[in-house]
Amino acid sequence: MRSATGDHDPGSAWTEVDEYLVQTLLPEDEVLELVVDENQAAGLPAIDVSPLQGSLLSLLVRMTGARRVLEIGTLGGFSTIHLARALPPGGRVVTCEYEPRHAEVARRNLDRARFSDVVDVRVGAALDTLPQLAAEGGDPFDLVFIDADKPNNPHYLEWALRLTRPGSVIVGDNVVRGGRVAEEASTDPAITGTRTFLEALGEDPRLEVTALQTVGAKGWDGFALALVR
């Protein structure tokens, strides 16, 4: 699509392509449509993953055969449902949410999607919850999805490594931030936290890592993906 001046409008084109891919590749999903409506009605920020990105998370769970999934950053449960749907029988998602109001909305959405018995919503600061999970001594997580406050991403990575095993996958969302991740002089905590997170990924010999830029209805951003050696 072109703007009123005749120039190509990349943002509009990204959204059009996203809509085309969703219509072509994904079935209609009344449950997730209701989740989006519920989140909007509750006044939650519209920062969920997109439907295509959610489907990517589902595929990663299926392709890795993950049985235990850790999510850091629940919001209203849109991505949580994608993760839970892909689990094998007996699988489980533990998801961490700082805001009690967000967790309440997520629990309603999970109940509507019939995943209340599959997903454990932990409320509170993730940096308090993650040590508790370690102390509980459960099996390692097979996949970790990090999508919370960006300044703490380096700390979330440290805990992800403690709570996983060789062969586990770690996924970090929002690592491009509209291209601002390349700004070395930035003092924005979200940018500096993301840069430190990426540098830690690249420097850790326990990890095999890549990152992908994404464009679409959610703008210009990206994922980091790491395999624990």
Assign 11 a pLDDT band (cuts: 50, 70, 90): confident
Q: In a 3-state reduction of DSSP, which class is residue 212?
A: strand
pLDDT in the model for residue 8 = 60
The domains located in the chain, with CATH, are 11-228 (3.40.50.150)
Average pLDDT, the chain: 95
Say how far apart CA 109 and CA 125 lie, in whole Å: 21
Alpha helices by DSSP H, listed for 125-226, are: 126-136, 153-162, 189-203
Q: In a 3-state reduction of DSSP, which class is residue 94?
A: strand
pLDDT in the model for residue 101 = 97
- DSSP assignment letter at 6: S
Judge contact between 144 and 162, C-beta under 8 A: no
pTM of the model: 0.94
At a CB cut-off of 8 Å and minimum separation 6, what does 145 contact?
A: 57, 69, 70, 71, 72, 73, 79, 83, 171, 173
Tokens describing residue 87: 């689990």
In this model, does residue 2 exceed pLDDT 50? no
Q: What is the mean pLDDT of residues 120-140?
A: 98
Q: Please name the amino acid found at residue 92.
A: R
Per-residue pLDDT reduced to its tens digit, 88-125: 999 999 999 999 999 999 999 999 999 999 999 999 99
Judge contact between 74 and 96, C-beta under 8 A: yes
Name the strands in the sheet holding 143-146, side by side, starting at the edge strand that comes first in the sequence: 119-123, 92-97, 68-72, 143-146, 169-173, 219-228, 207-216
